[in-house]
Amino acid sequence: MYFKYLPNVSLAERPIKFPWSEQQYITAKNIFRKFTISNTAFDTAVYFKKYTIKDSDRPDLVSQQLYGDSGLDWIVLLCNNIINPYFDWPMPTPVLQDYIDKKYDQPYAIKYYLTNEVKNSAGDVVLPKDQIVDEGFYKAPYYIEFDDINDKFPAEAVEDQTWVDEDGNHFRYKGSRQSGDGQGGAGTQTAGWEKLVRDSFRYRDPDGSIVTLSGNSIVRQVTYHQYETEKNDAKRTIYILKDRYLMQFVDEMKKQLPYKKSSDYVSGYLKRSAV
């Protein structure tokens, strides 16, 4: 039904028979002619309502359910700027799972890390939500074994004793270190110093206190599986034109789609393009 509203375009082609000087044309629907909806239209609940797409939904089924006519599926798509339903419409869960399994060898590996929103006691945001950070931010604070000590280190130390050298490097003493990377890797237990590699997230609160937060308390891991699932779920919320505005919508489209007069203008629904 949508295509019947589109104007035509006649495109010149090179003639395949005499006389060579004559132009020959092929007429087709101008699929590049689009009816655009103002972005401000979505700021009001007057014309549209939100709809959450279920696994069993298709554009024609949604149209049938809401408008009583599956042939109006193009309005559902157009109102949401969905050009290709195969890519822009959310996949059913089984299809999504199959897609993820085929795309990734390790779908539950970490793709990236996202921050949670952190506010101070006054309600001001000190760490915005959904900022991508590196693995070091997530692990903070973390230490690595440090055995290159000199006589400036404390001669005797106790568990969790800290020390800062003249270059500002921070160290702590552990009576039991896991040899390797200092993060629980396989190896023997040893006593000694560890060097701070990444410090915790800190901010000064309005009351003057310093608030310290470990990375894993303010950052979440996002796997490839979770990333694809969230991206697919983001497509599930669409805008549906309220049925009482259908005819007004179609009338407005009929006004916008016809051609304006120009050098290749033939009529409101036909223009001719020469070679």
Domain positions in the chain are 2-90+234-273, 91-141+199-233, 142-197
Q: What is the pLDDT of residues 258-273, one digit of tens each?
A: 778 887 867 776 777 7
pLDDT confidence bin for 7, thresholds 50/70/90: low
Collapsing DSSP states into helix, strand and coil, what is residue 25? strand
pLDDT in tens, 217-244: 999 999 999 999 999 999 999 999 998 8
Token pair in block for residue 83? 């050009």
Per the model's pLDDT, the better-predicted residue between 146 and 40 turns out to be 146
Report the predicted TM-score, pTM, of the whole model to 2 decimal places: 0.70
Residue 217, burial from CB neighbour count under 10 angstroms (0-12, 13-18, 19+): exposed
